[in-house]
Structure 1
């Protein structure tokens, strides 16, 4: 049996991402990662693609931080495969212990992200992971949080990037997206 190329894996994953018109409100095209996650081959390919990128670009990563909530689908898997730790960034009020908070802008309001102060050691090399980069607000807040507790952000790694929203321009760290719309 022949090995599936990275390009073919990427096309397969992309073919499984759902598209929902006018969700959650009129005029929005919602890209749904769950279509890919319910397909066993797409899951394996997605894992392979993410790991291939991390191993090539960031072999020195020490911690994978997943953003609430779909980033959690990836951070434990990636950390386990790489033999490093993982930590969550959560919405306000969801973490116990001493937390650091950052408020960020949404399309129609604000929200707050938190991280446990002890989750990251000073100088620790961190990779942020999430399913989607849209306007950039949540990844920007996550970057700020990691830096506030002393971590070094190597990159923000996302599965999907909605390029027309230009979220990448709001980030002051490296960004890698597997799929762009």
Structure 2
């Protein structure tokens, strides 16, 4: 078995698996000094997208998983915005639709909106997610995908939208999970247990990342963001 159950309905890819090893090798995190968010370790998805070998391994693993399922998934739903990086390549291989779940009513058409939610870092206001009405419905079997499962607010919004559409959740997939934030426990216990049987799959735990995965630049004392003009003039920190 390539997966191990770490909690009820919660699965993690075995560390010995080639994909887990690739993710552990290539994932980078940044401290607040080099991060767009004030969190202790900001997991940078671009460190994965810039590794074609890792992206291909993610695609191949999940495509093989869902091809083997009976009944098979009928839709992949990706979270705005990083779920958009992974969902389409899986959906294309499976020849099923990829559904955009977007923030703040940015989809066109008649929309279904989630309840407001908050994330592991503070925004100006709670966020909401939307999908186009009719993009999934009764009989749809939906896989949800995002880059990181942190507090679970974003994941819960997706589950709300799938349930409101009378569709079925196959599982929620994240490339990285942050166990100490206890997202799965929170989701399984919310709404009087409405989502208690939802299955979660993570390809890597943040616990596997060490100081070697830190992408902070050493000896840089200037601003984190440099203008094009300063770069051209070689006026670097």
- TM-score normalised per structure 2: 0.69
Aligned pairs for 1:92-107 (under 5 A) are 92-102=104-114, 103-107=116-120
Aligned pairs for 1:17-166 (under 5 A) are 17-22=27-32, 23-57=35-69, 60-102=72-114, 103-107=116-120, 108=122, 109-166=125-182
Helix, strand or coil at the partner of 2:160:
helix
Runs of 4+ aligned structure 1 residues displaced above 6 Å come to none
* Alpha-carbon distance between aligned partners in 2 of 1:10 and 1:27, rounded to the nearest angstrom: 24
Quick check: 1:67–1:90 contact (8 Å CA) kept in 2?
yes
* Alpha-carbon distance between aligned partners in 2 of 1:17 and 1:79, rounded to the nearest angstrom: 24
The count of aligned residue pairs is 176
More strand by share: 1
Shift of 1:38: 0.6
The change in CA–CA distance for 1:26 and 1:141 in structure 2 (over 3 A counts) is closer
Helix, strand or coil at the partner of 1:115:
strand
Helix, strand or coil at the partner of 2:126:
strand
* Structure-1 residue corresponding to 2:203: 178
Measured against aligned partners, the alpha-carbon deviations of 1:15-73 in whole angstroms (never above 9, x if no partner) come to: 11111012344552011121121112112112122223333456510000000000011
Task: Specify which structure has the bigger relative contact order, considering alpha-carbon pairs within 8 angstroms and separated by 6 or more residues.
Answer: 2
Helix, strand or coil at the partner of 2:158:
helix
Structure 2 residue runs of 5 or longer lacking an equivalent are 1-15, 188-194, 207-237
Query: In the alignment, which of 9, 14, 24 is matched to residue 14 of structure 1?
Result: 24
* Structure-1 residue corresponding to 2:3: none
Helix, strand or coil at the partner of 2:82:
coil
* Structure-2 residue corresponding to 1:3: none
Shift of 1:82: 0.9
Shift of 1:154: 1.1
Measured against aligned partners, the alpha-carbon deviations of 1:67-116 in whole angstroms (never above 9, x if no partner) come to: 00000111111111112111011001311110011122234341011111
The change in CA–CA distance for 1:36 and 1:163 in structure 2 (over 3 A counts) is same
